[in-house]
């Protein structure tokens, strides 16, 4: 086995410190701004122009390079900052402070608690005066100092939402640490970060950068789990809890182990993640995180051990990166590939499926569905094309799959309507549209990505839910016929009887609108 490239991570003796997961940060403030700009991520180019005028050109240029835009200059899904917020809230001994419009903060905290956050989210409010005079930054700095308690916290994450970013609130001027508590400031504007999945990378990359600089400065605290006695593979991307364990089992015959999953769950795991031999971009859009691993001298490989073919090629790529002998790689493959093939054969999926989502694992799920026997003519992902998904794309395209990167809602719906599949897997609005058409539909995030995908465990994990949904096609057709026309046009709303239609009023209004249009056109010609 070849020596690992890059520097070594030196640990001090602080690994015996017990992490108190119950300690959470208090609220930074609860006042509501007296006035709001009213602009946000859906202001598109207007906010981006304001941000550049406020000195944020370098930030936006980096975002454009890391997360290239698609056909839209604004998000089509939830606020992107939800991704980075969720990462921070899942970390032990980490406090989160938001700076943004009150409506945005309310929505973000609401959905965070809906998804199980069990700690407060700090909020630094502002109004027009504090925003334009620079007082908002002073308020943020005061809030950070107020909650920087080393007995409770390892780190504080401060996030600028759209308006503070566009106004140039300089989080980079915050102190790097206060009494040993690290301060990580990030900007996650909707007009610069296209999806909430990529916002996870914004924070994960910023934390890895901080941790890497700590490692370069000298010995760091040992992770609670200690140092692995085998070379490790760090895993990029949130996964079902069983997947890292399955990956670890597949690596064991090669004398390797699975390292931490990035985004991490506690600060010291960042050191262990950087202390790997190879970083595996399981989710291929973690551009900023990949940059930190590469800066640490760690090679990065793409794809994932999904299905028979994916597992075989991924184990081979890992073995090549570590310099593992062909015999050891073959041992790992022979230990798992027959079982994966058997599981795929035992749980076949028959039917045509269109697949779309914004998690970044869409191509991996498509591979698994196809190896299970499904016909998948279309895959749409809201994430961009990157080198780390190239192997998956090549495999899918060889199977005749049309892949749409930065797919819009319109792209996904058009594909579904044109193909009329037996099952549509997609985002909430795609599922809604599919059910309106009588097509069985499953929400990708809650019903597909929340299942194991890797190795033997993943081989049969999708069949039950997918086959059950496809089996509901006749029932969906009966429901569509029963409710045909309800909730559309004149039947929209709630009625005790039939609506009292007045078509003559519509005709009169139509004539008035046509007359106004003719007058406006005539005025333009003068």
Residues forming beta bridges with residue 262, ordered by sequence position: 236
d(CA 460, CA 349): 10
Instruction: Measure Cα distances from 205 to 56, 121, 293, 498, 509 in Å.
Output: 19, 21, 9, 58, 56
DSSP secondary structure code for residue 2 in this structure:
P
What is the CB neighbour count within 10 angstroms for residue 316? 16
Whether the pLDDT of residue 62 is over 80: the answer is yes
pTM, entire model = 0.85
**232-341 and 347-482 share one fold:** yes
| Strands of the 402-405 sheet, one edge to the other | 402-405, 375-381, 352-357, 423-426, 441-443
The dihedrals phi and psi of 122, each to the nearest 5 degrees, come to -70, 150
Residue in this structure with the two tokens 């086995």, named with its chain if needed:
1
Rounded-to-integer distance, Cα 506 and Cα 310, Å: 59
pLDDT of residue 251: 97
Strands 300-301 and 352-357: unpaired
Residues 6+ apart with CB under 8 A from 16: none
According to DSSP, residue 225 is labeled T
Of 313, 295, 296, 294, the closest CA to residue 305 belongs to 313
411 vs 474, more confident: 411
Q: Residue 147 has which token pair? A: 């909650």
Place of tokens 């990166």: 321
Cβ contact 412:430 at 8 Å = yes
97 within 8 A of 124, measured Cβ to Cβ: yes
Torsion of CA 468, 469, 471, 477, to 10 degrees: 150
Closest CA to 273 of 289, 285, 286: 289
What average pLDDT does this structure show over 58-75?
A: 82
Q: Which residue has the tokens 């180019």?
A: 45
Q: What is the pLDDT of residue 454?
A: 95
The average pLDDT across 416-444 equals 93
* Cis geometry, peptide bond prior to residue 242 (ω within 30 degrees of 0): no
Would you state the pLDDT for residue 485? 67
Torsion sign (Cα): 244, 234, 265, 9? positive
Pick from 128, 129, 127, 124: nearest CA to 139: 124
| pLDDT for the residue numbered 408 | 92
Angle at Cα 455 formed by Cα 463 and Cα 340, nearest 5°? 70
What integer best gives the mean pLDDT of the chain? 88
pLDDT of residue 96: 96
Give yes or no for a contact between 170 and 131, defined as CB atoms under 8 angstroms apart.
no
pLDDT of residue 50: 86
pLDDT tens-place string over residues 341-375: 999 999 999 999 999 999 899 999 999 999 999 99
8 A C-beta contact, residue 51 and residue 166: yes
pLDDT at 34 over 90: no
**Residue 42 confidence (pLDDT):** 56
Do the Cβ atoms of 269 and 282 come closer than 8 Å?
no
pLDDT value of residue 100: 92
pLDDT per residue over 313-338, tens digit each? 999 999 999 999 999 999 999 999 99
**How far apart (Å, rounded) are the C-alpha atoms in residues 517 and 501?**
26
**Angle value at C-alpha 286, between 285 and 291, nearest 5 degrees:** 125
Weakest mean pLDDT among 5-9, 340-344, 454-458, 509-513: 5-9
CB atoms inside a 10 Å sphere around CB 328: 17
- CA dihedral sign, ordered 151, 152, 154, 159: negative
CATH architecture of 232-341: 3-Layer(aba) Sandwich (3.40)
Q: Is 471 helix (H, G, I), strand (E, B) or coil?
A: coil
Sequence-distant (≥ 6) Cβ neighbours of residue 417 within 8 angstroms? 433, 437
The answer to whether residues 441 and 423 touch, using CB atoms and an 8 Å cutoff, is yes
pLDDT for 24 beyond 60: no
Question: Domain extents for the chain?
Answer: 43-193, 232-341, 347-482
- Res 32: pLDDT: 32
Q: Is the pLDDT of residue 127 over 70?
A: yes
Q: Rounded CA gap, 291 and 218, in Å?
A: 21
124-138, 143-157, 324-338: lowest mean pLDDT where? Answer: 124-138
More confident residue, 170 or 2: 170
What architecture (CATH level 2) is domain 347-482? 3-Layer(aba) Sandwich (3.40)
Q: Is-cis flag, bond preceding 263, omega within 30?
A: yes
Q: Options 3.90.1570.10, 3.40.720.10, 3.40.50.300, 3.40.50.1980; which CATH number does 43-193 get?
A: 3.40.50.1980
Residue bearing the bigger pLDDT, 51 or 306: 306
Q: Please choose, from the candidates 257, 291, 292, the residue with its C-alpha nearest in 3D space to the C-alpha of residue 277.
A: 257
| Beta strand segments in 122-242, E | 122-123, 155-160, 177-178, 181-187, 232-236
- Integer Cα distance of 503 and 424 in angstroms: 38
Residue 4 has pLDDT above 80, yes or no: no
Q: Tell me the C-alpha distance between 488 and 481, whole Å.
A: 14
Q: State mean pLDDT over 69-93.
A: 85
Residue scoring higher pLDDT (11 or 462): 462
Alpha carbons 136 and 90: distance in angstroms, whole number = 27
- The rounded distance, in Å, linking the Cα atoms of 413 and 356 is 9
Q: Supply the pLDDT for residue 13.
A: 62
Whether the predicted pLDDT of 101 surpasses 50: yes
Q: What is the mean pLDDT of residues 400-413?
A: 95
**461, pLDDT greater than 80:** yes
Neighbour count for residue 174 (Cβ, 10 Å): 18
Count of helices and strands (H, E) across the chain: 21, 14
Beta strand pairing status for 352-357 and 177-178? Answer: unpaired
Q: Residue 116 class from Cβ within 10 Å (0-12 exposed, 13-18 middle, 19+ buried)?
A: exposed
């Amino acid at each position: 086995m070849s020596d690992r490239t890059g520097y070594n991570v030196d640990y001090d003796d602080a690994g015996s410190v017990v992490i108190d997961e119950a300690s959470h940060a208090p609220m930074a403030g609860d006042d509501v701004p007296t006035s709001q700009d009213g602009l946000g991520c859906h202001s598109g180019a207007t906010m981006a122009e304001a941000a550049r005028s406020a000195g944020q050109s370098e930030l936006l240029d980096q975002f454009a390079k890391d997360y290239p835009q698609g056909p839209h200059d604004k998000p089509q899904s939830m606020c992107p900052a939800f991704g980075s917020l969720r990462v921070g809230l899942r970390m032990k001994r980490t406090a989160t402070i938001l700076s943004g419009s009150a409506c945005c903060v309310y929505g973000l905290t609401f959905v965070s608690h809906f998804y199980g956050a069990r700690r407060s989210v700090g909020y630094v409010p502002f109004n027009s005066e504090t925003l334009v005079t620079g007082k908002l930054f002073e308020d943020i700095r005061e809030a950070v100092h107020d909650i920087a308690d080393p007995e409770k916290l390892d780190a504080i994450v401060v996030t600028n939402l759209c308006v503070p970013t566009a106004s140039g609130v300089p989080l980079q001027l915050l102190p790097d640490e206060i009494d040993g508590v690290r301060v990580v400031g990030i900007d996650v504007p909707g007009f610069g970060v296209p999806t909430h999945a990529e916002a996870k990378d914004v924070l994960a990359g910023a934390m890895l950068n901080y941790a890497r600089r700590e490692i370069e400065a000298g010995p760091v605290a040992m992770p609670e789990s200690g140092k692995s006695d085998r070379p490790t593979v760090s895993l990029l991307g949130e996964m079902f809890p069983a997947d890292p364990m399955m990956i670890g089992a597949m690596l064991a015959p090669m004398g390797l182990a699975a390292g931490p999953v990035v985004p991490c769950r506690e600060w010291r795991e960042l050191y262990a993640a950087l202390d790997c031999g190879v970083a595996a971009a399981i989710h291929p859009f973690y551009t900023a995180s990949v940059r930190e691993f590469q800066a640490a001298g760690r090679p990065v490989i793409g794809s994932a051990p999904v299905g028979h073919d994916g597992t075989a090629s991924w184990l081979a790529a890992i073995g090549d990166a570590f310099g593992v002998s062909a015999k050891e790689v073959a041992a790992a493959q022979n230990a798992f590939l027959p079982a994966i093939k058997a599981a795929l054969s035992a749980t076949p999926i028959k039917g045509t499926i269109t697949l779309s989502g914004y998690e970044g694992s869409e191509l991996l799920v498509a591979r698994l569905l196809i190896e299970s026997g499904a016909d998948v003519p279309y895959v749409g992902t809201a994430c961009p094309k990157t080198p780390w998904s190239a192997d998956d794309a090549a495999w899918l395209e060889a199977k005749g799959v049309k892949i749409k990167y930065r797919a819009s809602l319109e792209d996904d719906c058009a594909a579904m309507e044109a193909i009329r599949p037996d099952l549509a897997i997609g985002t909430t609005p795609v599922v809604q549209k599919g059910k309106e058409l009588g097509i069985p539909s499953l929400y990708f995030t809650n019903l597909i990505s929340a299942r194991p995908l890797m190795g033997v465990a993943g081989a049969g994990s999708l069949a039950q839910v997918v086959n059950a949904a496809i089996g509901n096609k006749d029932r969906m057709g009966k429901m569509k016929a029963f409710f045909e026309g309800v909730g559309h046009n004149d039947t929209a709303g709630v009625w005790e009887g039939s609506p009292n239609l007045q078509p003559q009023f519509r005709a009169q209004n139509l004539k008035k609108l046509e007359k106004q249009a003719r007058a406006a056109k005539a005025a333009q010609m003068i």
